[in-house]
């Protein structure tokens, strides 16, 4: 299954990059191939200064080796040997009216244990209900097709819980789906393939609807402030970031998820009743978006 999953993820990277380049309209991904000293390597593809995308990356990796004894205790399985393959992506558009998006799909083994993990989540700054509902409905449709193996409500709940900044008491975005440590059965592999290939459908229509809208410097300012929350989550909580750094992955590829321009202001609080305040007061509260 490792070989088959690796082949699928390599092709997935190609398909997602093609869809994002078409939506951007001008920029192209730069590819860097790399080798991991402990075993394996990958293809990092980064896009920047495009018509829509200010910075983004779609990374493929296939690595193997041994965990440190300390880190091995934190991962399901036994022994020290591991393999990992997958695709991870983050897209930061320039316009504050186009949401940031993240997705990751992966296959791992640790000794006698093998599992799939992944998901996708949306981080808007000035949300449009149509966009949020569309994103969630795509994932619900895919999950429902693979029910009862896959439960959409459970994956949505796990996403809401995972992408939560505990030190801020707020969600990173409006969620999506998230799963981890799912036993590597053939039916689960079928779900992972269909979910991964649904990413372009979940996100690109949103980009197409919003990329031509005019925005103000004030809206751009707020986007840069909120991007700080993205940085905090990825550096403090993100399992992919931690896994990559703990297993001597390529640092540039691991940290490509960080936005290019961020503002950190002391005790910033948007004025009550503004769209900026509404983001945390309404949109970042978990809701059954797919039912709206």
Positions marked active-site: 102
| Distance, CA of 2 to CA of 291 (rounded, Å) | 36
Strand pairing class (81-93; 164-165)? unpaired
Backbone angles phi, psi at 176, to 5 degrees: 165, -115
Q: Give the count of alpha carbons within 13 A of 90, CB side only.
A: 18
- Give per-residue burial for 181-213: e unless 16+ CB within 10 Å, then b: ebebeeebbebbbebbbbbbebbbbbbeebbee
Angle ∠(207,100,204) on CA atoms, nearest 5: 25
> What are the CA-CA distances from residue 116 to residues 109, 154, 173, 190 (Å)?
9, 16, 23, 11
């Amino acid at each position: 299954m490792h070989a088959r999953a690796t082949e699928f993820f390599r092709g997935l990277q190609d398909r997602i990059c093609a869809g994002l380049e078409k939506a951007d309209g001008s920029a192209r991904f730069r590819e860097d191939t790399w080798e991991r000293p402990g075993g394996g390597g990958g293809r990092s593809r980064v896009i920047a200064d495009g018509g829509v995308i200010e910075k983004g990356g779609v990374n493929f990796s296939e690595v193997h080796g041994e965990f440190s004894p300390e880190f091995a205790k934190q991962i399901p399985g036994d022994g020290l040997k591991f393999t990992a393959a997958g695709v991870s992506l983050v897209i930061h558009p320039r316009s504050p009216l186009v949401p940031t998006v993240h997705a990751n799909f992966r296959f791992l083994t640790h000794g006698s244990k093998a599992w799939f993990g992944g998901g996708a989540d949306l981080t808007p700054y000035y949300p449009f209900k149509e966009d949020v509902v569309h994103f969630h409905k795509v994932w619900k449709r895919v999950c429902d097709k693979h029910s009862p193996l896959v439960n959409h409500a459970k994956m949505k709940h796990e996403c809401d819980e995972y992408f939560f900044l505990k030190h801020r008491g707020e969600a990173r975005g409006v969620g999506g789906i998230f799963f981890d440590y799912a036993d590597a059965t053939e039916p689960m592999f079928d779900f992972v393939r269909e979910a991964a290939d649904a990413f372009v459908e979940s996100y690109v229509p949103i980009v197409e609807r919003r990329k031509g809208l005019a925005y103000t410097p004030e809206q751009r300012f707020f986007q840069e402030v909120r991007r700080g929350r993205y940085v905090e989550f990825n550096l403090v909580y993100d399992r992919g970031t931690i896994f990559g750094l703990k297993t001597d992955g390529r640092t540039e590829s691991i940290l490509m998820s960080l936005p290019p321009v961020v503002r950190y202001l002391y005790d910033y609080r948007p004025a009550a009743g503004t769209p900026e305040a509404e983001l945390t007061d309404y949109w970042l509260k978990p809701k059954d978006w797919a039912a709206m």
